[in-house]
Amino acid sequence: MNARERYLETLLFGKPDRVPLSPGGPRESTLAAWHRQGLPEDVYWLDALTEAVGVPREAFDATHSLPEAFRMIPTFEEKVLEHRDGHYIVLDWMGAITEISDVYDYTYIRSAKDFVTRKWHRWPVESRADWEEKIRWRYDPADPTRLTPEFWERAAAAEASGKAVTLSVNGPFWQMREWVGMEGLCALMIDDPQFVTDMAEFWRTYVMTVLEQILRRVRLDVLYVSEDMAYKAHSMISPAMTRRFLQPAYLSWIDLLKSYGDGFIDMDSDGYIAHLIPIWIESGIKSCNPIEVAAGNDLVEFRRQFGRQMAYHGSVDKRCIATGGAVMRDEVMRLVPVLRDGGFIPSCDHGVPPDISWPTFIEYTRLLAELQGWV
């Protein structure tokens, strides 16, 4: 099997020859710690891991991502508004006023470079007038700078790579939260549900229009949808609100994917997702991640409850990996029944934090490689 076949066979409950290795990826602070613990400064961490574990690189490289396609054009001009008391106050590229420690520069505000705490002071949309004047016009699916010749060149390379071709997009909850803020969005669902419906419908159709342009020319295997709509123990909005405001987008996007082939949606949400999985299943979503254990998610129970209606990747408790030894091993072995049942790629249940040492990460990855048929 090539990498694409292996990835799709795994997540669609087929018969992969081996399950792809996906132990998780480090942030900048993690890499700094690993360099102090034996990772050579001049070697890419995944190359070093491949050599240390003794597996071929194809074990890890199962997907090939298409470039960003849905971002606002033009973005807001980023600028520092204030620098005081060890913090920057910044107008960021999405139009929000945000605060961040000056230990970092403001490029960390909207990136996953590291584990960084930020504070949002103001969101770009505070009224319908803001929505029309500041935001809506920036999402033109026909903008010639969106799907450029370079985009199509990289898409052709992705298709020729032998890997699963993937594309990422914000879900409607995530995107509306970027416009009005999380508290603002939740309040609007009660106080002005029509405004929420209008924004969600705009995002549904905008994504459909851009996505169809891509699907006409590219074989897309997986659409990664980012939602992040749950806390510890609960989702941020009710199942009824999820069905009312968000599900229409999921259903439309999945229908479009099906009309062009066998592509499917993989849903990304942190937090406790047990109340959301049934809605995702009825929407036709096939897999989800990262299944954070500290939030109360129990993958073994999910498999018992939902069977093979949902596939997963993630679910290895980062705290247990950090502890290492028998604790790490017991945590991985806890998930073996789900691994054997299919539809599961084990991985650290979020970005790999710096308290997971380089030697421990190697040991943990080697155990995964043994269980997944690579060594």
pLDDT for position 106:
83
- What is the per-residue pLDDT across 279-299, written as a single tens digit (0 to 9) for each? 999 999 999 999 999 999 999
Is residue 168's pLDDT more than 90? Answer: yes
Is residue 102's pLDDT more than 90? Answer: yes
* Terminal-to-terminal C-alpha distance of the chain: 17
Quote the CA–CA distance of 15 and 252 in Å, as a whole number.
29
Kindly give the pairing relationship between strand 287-289 and strand 264-268.
Answer: parallel
Is residue 107's pLDDT more than 90? Answer: no
Provide CATH 3.20.20.210 ranges for the chain. 3-73+125-371
The mean pLDDT value of the chain amounts to 97
- What is the per-residue pLDDT across 176-210, written as a single tens digit (0 to 9) for each? 999 999 999 999 999 999 999 999 999 999 999 99
Longest dimension (CA), the chain: 59
Residue type, 303: R
Q: Which two tokens stand for residue 98?
A: 């945000």
Quote the CA–CA distance of 364 and 347 in Å, as a whole number.
10
- The class (CATH top level) of 3-73+125-371 is alpha beta
The helix (H) or strand (E) run that includes residue 317 is none
Say if pTM beats, i.e. exceeds, 0.85.
yes
- What is the per-residue pLDDT across 66-97, written as a single tens digit (0 to 9) for each? 999 999 999 999 999 999 999 999 999 999 99
pLDDT for position 218:
97
Quote the CA–CA distance of 168 and 73 in Å, as a whole number.
17
Quickly state the pLDDT bin for 112 (edges 50, 70, 90).
confident
Is residue 262's pLDDT more than 90? Answer: yes
CB 273 within 8 A of CB 288: yes
Kindly report the backbone phi and psi dihedral angles of residue 373, in degrees, each rounded to the nearest multiple of 5, phi listed first.
85, 20
Judged by phi (left if over 0) then psi (alpha if -120 to 50, else beta), residue 283 lies in: alpha
Kindly report the backbone phi and psi dihedral angles of residue 248, in degrees, each rounded to the nearest multiple of 5, phi listed first.
-55, -35
Q: Compute the Cα dihedral for 273, 278, 280, 286 and give only its sign.
A: positive
DSSP letter (8 states) at residue 20: P
Quote the CA–CA distance of 332 and 311 in Å, as a whole number.
17
DSSP letter (8 states) at residue 78: P
Quote the CA–CA distance of 99 and 311 in Å, as a whole number.
37
Quickly state the pLDDT bin for 111 (edges 50, 70, 90).
confident
